[in-house]
Structure 1
Amino acid sequence: MSNPTSKHTPQPVSSKTTYALAGLALVVVVVIVGALYLWNRGGGDTVRSDGYGPVHDPGVSVALDSDGGIVLGKPNVAKTVDIYEDPICPACGHLEKIYGQEIAQQVDLGKIAVRYRLVNFLDRNSKSKDYSTRAIAANECVAQAGDGPVYGKFHSLLFTTEQPSEGGSDHDNKELAAIAKQAGASDDVAKCITSGERADAGRAHAEASMKALDDLIGKNWGTPSIFVDGKKVDWGNSNWVLDAAK
C-alpha cells in the first residue's frame, strides 16, 4: 500500500504521458520507505476475508472497455470501485494480498464492481524494461474472453504469488500465458498473450489511464490509487472495502 510518503510518484518527461524513474537509487528508497510503511501499519496487515479466494461466482463477468478499463462484476451493480495499479508495483501487490479476497467477496455478492485501470510507469524497473506493458496486454487478453472468475484468478496471481520484484527478473510472454492457463484461460487466450498481439493497445491504454489520473488528482499521483464515485479512497482505513459496498 502507499500513503502520501510511500507512493511511487512518477514525474512527466514529455508531452506524452511517460514517466522516468531515477534507477537503482530510487529503488532503494522505495524499498526502505515501503518497509517503514508496512512496519508502521501493524494490525492493518491482517488479510481481510482470508480463505475466500478470488471471485468464483459464475454470474460475475469481465469486460474490456474501449479505454482499457477492465470491469469485473455482476450486471447492473450500483457502485464501481476504480483501482489504478502497475503490475510490478509492490504496494499494489500488498493491496491485493490484504484486500483482494474481500474485494472478490463483495463482487460475488453483487455489492460492487471493480474497474482496474492499469498503468506502466514502472516498466523501467523491470529486468525486461517492458514487463508492466506486457502484463497489461496479458490482462486484456484474459479480460476480453469475458470469464469473470478466470480473470479474477489471473489478476490475483499476477499481483500476489506471481508478482515480480522491482529490479528483479520478470515473466516473459510464455510464462504470462502459463499463468493465464493456470487461472483457467483458454488456448486462444494463451495465444493472444504469447503473440503479444495486445501490446500496442495495452501501452496506449496505460497512457490513457495515467492521463486520467493526472486529470483526477494532478501529476503527483502514485499507485495504487482507488476511487469510489470519483472520490479518492484512503485504503489505510481497513474498512474501506466494506464502506464502498454499503
Structure 2
Amino acid sequence: MTAPALSRTGGPHPAGGTAPAQVPDWGDPYADAVRAGRGPLWLRHRDGRRVPLDVERWCAPAAGADHSLLLRCTQLTAPVLDLGCGPGRLVAALLALGIPALGVDITGEAVARTRRLGALALRRSLFDRLPGEGRWGGVLLADGNLGIGGDPDAILERCAELLAPGGTLLVEVEPQELDEHSTVQLEGAHGRLSPPFSWARLGAVATARRARRAGLVETDRWVSHGRRFLALQAGPRTG
C-alpha cells in the first residue's frame, strides 16, 4: 500500500484524462510507520471499523506470495515498473534478480527507504509524467494499490497507458469477491489520523471486468499464501 498516488492538483494529468478530484495531502501516519519499519497502522472506516495494515511485511525483504510475483516478472519483457512501491521490497528483489525495475511512490519516506536498499525510485504520482510511458514490459500493483484514490478504472487505464503492447500488469486483488468503495483514514500510533480519502477494494471478478474496459485482458489468476493476483495483458495500440 502507498499514499494515494494521484495528481496533486486533481486536474488533468500529463498522460491524458483527468485524475480524481480530491487528493489529500496525507502520509504522516504512513510515513511514520515506514520510517519506523513497523506499525501500528490501520485503515479506519467511517463507522469506526479498523483494518490493520501489514507495515512489517512491506518493510521486510520480499517473502511468501511476493515470490510468485517475482517469478512471473522473470517471464516478462523487462523493464518492470512498481506503482506505489512503498518501502521498496519488490523493486530491490527485482534488481537482485537482474531485472531492470523502477519504483514510484508519492511518499518521500517510502522513496528514501527504497533508495537505501540500492533500488531506483521516483517520488511521483502515478498520474504524473513517468519515464518510458508506453514501453514498460511489466507493471506491478501490489499491496492493495489498485484501490488508490477510490477509482480503479482510472488506475487500470493509466496502467494500460504505461505498458508496451503485449506488456503485462500484475495486480493484487482482494481474496474475496468485492467491489467496494469507501471513505477512510489512516490511523497511526497514539490515534494520529490522516485526512479522509477515497479507497476501493476489488476482487478478481470485478477487477477483470473493469480491466477489459481499459483494454487489458486476463491471462492468469492465482492464489499464494492467502493473497490473490491477476495477470492482465495490454493489447495493441489503437488510433
| TM-score scaled by length of structure 1 | 0.29
Larger relative contact order (Cα-Cα within 8 Å, sequence gap ≥ 6): 1
| TM-score scaled by length of structure 2 | 0.30
More helix as a share of residues: 1
